[in-house]
Each structure stands twice: as structure tokens, then as C-alpha cells.
Amino acid sequence: MLDFIGQALIYVVPFLLVLTLVVTIHELGHFWVARAFGVKVDRFSIGFGKGVLSRTDKHGIEWRLGWIPLGGYVKFSGDADPSSVPDSRGLEAMREEIAAHDGQGAEKDYFHFKPVWQRALIVAAGPFANFVLAVTIFTLLFSLIGAEIRPPRIVNVVPDSAAAEAGFQPGDLILRVNGRAVEDDVAVQRMVTLSAGDPLDFVVRRGEQDVALTATPRRVETQNPIAGPVRMGVLGVEMRPMPGEATHMRYPPHEAVWQGMKETWSVLETTVTYLGRIVTGRESGDQLSGPLGIAKASGALTNAAADVEASNGIRLANVLLTLISFAAILSIGIGFLNLLPIPVLDGGHLLFYGYEAVARRPLAANIQEMGYRVGLVLLVGLMLFATWNDLRKLSLFQFLGGLSS
């Protein structure tokens, strides 16, 4: 029983810490830009539910620590709920209510009466803050820890694989994939993983010559120690740098920022590519993960980082670095998710503001309400699908079947 509780804590606590950090930064993005434009704010909360700790500052903003550590939120004055975007009639009623309570002209401090471009920037600031967090984390890692660059040197070709059919040979050094220069094996693996069934054009250095090859990665199910069983594109090669080829680089601050931006873009590009392949039917979507999958991944990463043979101090540092890196990747995912043009999410608000900017009036309230209902259904459906994937990977159904037999 104690072992079960200990394992549960290892999986749950890191996930909650990372999620709370990422969501808090997201909400701070909204908050800082809103305050810069003079928007009146009622509350900023870390966590949900009843407040465990609470303090009200000189601006009348309540800073609250909720007892449910699943992120946080910022509540602007006049917001009935997170999806409240009134139409012209609703705005007029709100204006009269504010004037009766605070006096004429007081509505200028309320979010809904700010110019549409300011509201759009406030909404976009949340996802933008997530991307900034990721760039900042990657920048610190590249400058303080550095990165190992492993040239994509092929040391083995699996017989009867896609690589063997294409003519790859041991000793080949991959220079470009689909016209894009690659410097390390990670970049090659990312492109191959998301290209099952799609021909890829390679240029390899073989001796003194550059040789052009075309290979089509095959979809193969493999066991990932972090994500569990995954189906991905496989080329059929083993890559390992020759002695002296691998280098470890710690970047100066200005180069580390650039590398951090490149890494953030690479993760974002991979996410967009995968979702695009789902939409076009080239991927099944079975790799989408929900809260259970993310918690499992954070726990597995924590266990892996803690299992290194080193002193307790080094093991603790390794765990912290691993969770910080995981926070950067999760932050990119949350930032991207919130930019999707789905009502209820930030992207849905931006969609409505785009209409308002063109039509010079807010979208009708009944259409907005319908949009939010559809958006909520889509979002819940996506979460249920991701949770189904998580449960399947956790082998829960086989476990329950075994209990009933």
C-alpha cells in the first residue's frame, strides 16, 4: 500500500507542479497586458476552489491560492464567466450597470469596453507567455548546461528495412532531409517519426561524395519507456557518431536565445505536423495524450532522472532539470492548444474579435452562445479521445478484463 501511495505521488505531484507553473505563466500573460492597458481586475488565483491563502493589494486585486492545484485563472471585473463576450445590447446594459454603481465613464476601466485591438492583445498574451516561458527555459538550459551535438552517422542498416531498400550504407553521414540541413540525429529522428508512408529525400556524405537517396519510413509500433507503445515512422538505421564526432556545446547568452527559439519552433512544428497528418488521415491520432498520459510521462521522467547512479544532490538536480525541460514542452503544447480557433479557448475569442474588427460590432449573443456550446463539445470530445488513448496505453481494460475472468 505504501509503495502504491509513493508511486502515485511520484506521478501526480510532478505533474501538478509543472501544470501549475505553466498555467500560472499563461494567466500572468493575460494579467500583465491587461494591467498595462488599465483593465480592472478582481482576482488572480493560483489553483481553483476555495482560497487557502488570500491577500488584496492596493489596487483591489485579490491574490488567491486555491486548494485545487490544477492551474489558475485571472478574473476581470465585469466577467460573468470565462466565455462572456457580450454583444452590442449586452454591452449597453453592462455600461448602464457600471455607471449606476461606479459613475459615468467608469466602464473605460473594464475589459469589454477596451478597443478591440487591446482585447485581442490581452487574449493573445496568454499563449504568447507560454512560448516565452519555453524559450526562456531552453535558453537557460543551452547556456548553463549546454547540448550534445551528435552527427547523424549511420553505423548499421537493418536488413529488409526502408533504409536498406533505399540504398543506405554503414558509414553514411546524413546531410539533408527534404532539402533541410540536419546537424544531429535528433533532427533526423523527428522528421522520420512523422513521415510514415511519405517518401523522404536524403542527401548523405559517402566517402568524398554526396549521394541522393529516397526512402519511405514504415509505420512500426515500438515501446517507448516514457510514452508507452507508440506507432511511428521508422527508417531502419542505427545512428551513432564516430569517435570524436560528437561535441558538447555551451552557448553564449545571445546564441542560447536563438537556440531556445529554434528548439521552441521545432517542438511547435512537430505538433502542427502531427495534427495536420491526423486531419489528412495519415495518422490515427492514437498518440494524443490527455491529463493521464501527461501525468504518466512526468512520473516516468521523474523516475528515470532519479535512477541515475550519482550522489543525492546530483540526482535531485537531474530531476529538477528534467521537470523544467518537460515544463517547456508542456508550455508549448498549452500555448498552441489555446490558439486553436475554438470558442472557449483564446483562439476562439480572437476569432470573434476578428469579426468585430471587420464588422465594427460584436457578433450576436445567440451566435456566440452557440459557438461556445459547439466549442465546448469539441474540447470535451478531444479530451475524452485523449483520455481513451491514455487508458488504452495504461492497459486498464486488459487489467479489468483479467479481474472479471
Active-site amino acid positions:
27
Q: Give the cell for residue 345.
A: 479557448
Beta strands in 158-307 (DSSP E): 173-177, 180-181, 200-206, 209-215, 218-224, 228-234, 237-239, 247-249
Give the separation between CA 311 and CA 291, rounded to whole angstroms: 32
Of 386, 193, 388, 394, nearest to 288 by C-alpha is: 386
Give the separation between CA 347 and CA 258, rounded to whole angstroms: 27
Contacts of 281 (CB under 8 A, 6+ apart): none
**Farthest-apart Cα atoms in the chain, separation:** 82
In DSSP terms, which residues pair with 215 in a beta bridge?
200
Contacts of 88 (CB under 8 A, 6+ apart): 361, 362
Give the separation between CA 380 and CA 385, rounded to whole angstroms: 9
